[in-house]
Amino acid sequence: MPDNDRTRSVARTDDPPRHGAFDGVRRELAVVLLAGVIAALVVVGLDLARWLELVLLAIIGFAAGGWVAIRTRAAERIAAGEAMRDDGAE
């Protein structure tokens, strides 16, 4: 049977599986979310003033969001570099 576009599977390729540039970011996001939930439970469990709890939770949230944003931008730069290298551009 001839190997043309109609007979080839769309779901499978003969290429070896490639790990995405964002796999590490996905794992780090899960860790940051888990740490954020634990930190929120600890902060709420402490006997602090409401405004202080809010400030602590805001600091934790901004730090976690910033970390994930920085890591995502780094992974995006890496993925863009790999895409350029795969296209043959230097």
**Distance of alpha carbon 18 from alpha carbon 26, whole angstroms:** 16
**Per-residue pLDDT, 23:** 83
**Per-residue pLDDT, 4:** 59
**Per-residue pLDDT, 78:** 85
**Per-residue pLDDT, 21:** 73
Instruction: Give me 66's structure tokens.
Output: 């910033």
Q: What is the mean pLDDT of the chain?
A: 81
Residue 83 pLDDT exceeds 70 = no
pLDDT in tens, 2-39: 555 566 556 656 655 566 778 888 899 999 999 999 99
Which helix or strand (DSSP H or E) is residue 67 part of? helix 50-87
